[in-house]
Amino acid sequence: NLVKFDAESFAKGFASGEYYVSHGYAEAIFEEIPEEKWAEVDFFLPEEGGPLYMDSLCIPKGAPHYELALAFIDFIHRPENYAQLLDRFHFPASVNVEADRYRTTTPFYTVEQLANYELKEDLGANLEMYNKAWETIRYVD
């Protein structure tokens, strides 16, 4: 049975033992579990694939410190700095591959494991199908 469908509390529920199985972001789950217990978690990516997500950085129109914001974005994308983000969240270097030279941790998964995954850029005509599926899951009795 599906207990809950959300993008917020799944990691805390899994870490506390409330859920024995959880579908969610690895970095969120492992953030809630002490590192010495990570080996007790069976984390995997389905070989069949699934959706990818992408985090973005945006500068609001009319931002008072536009140039400073650009400088910050440039700063965090320097490979030696970007590697710190990869290390913190145990991500693979999927975009800024040069950052791999500076990292000190092993990612939870590899870029190669993402081969069957796809970024949902625009659902187009399929948007209604996705909305109906979500409503079915969300409001099931």
Mean pLDDT score of the chain, rounded to an integer? 91
The share of the chain scoring above pLDDT 90, in percent, equals 66
DSSP state of 50: E
119: part of which helix (H) or strand (E)?
Answer: strand 117-119
- For CA atoms 7, 44, 103, 12, give the dihedral sign: positive
pLDDT digits (tens, 9 = 90+) for 56-109: 899 999 999 999 999 999 999 999 999 999 999 999 998 899 999 999 999 999
pLDDT of the residue at 135: 87
Task: Classify the phi-psi angles of 62: left when phi > 0, otherwise alpha if psi is within -120 to 50, otherwise beta.
Answer: left
| Cβ-based neighbour number of residue 126 at 10 Å | 10
Range in 17-21, 43-47, 50-54 with the lowest mean pLDDT? 50-54
* pLDDT over 80 (residue 116): yes
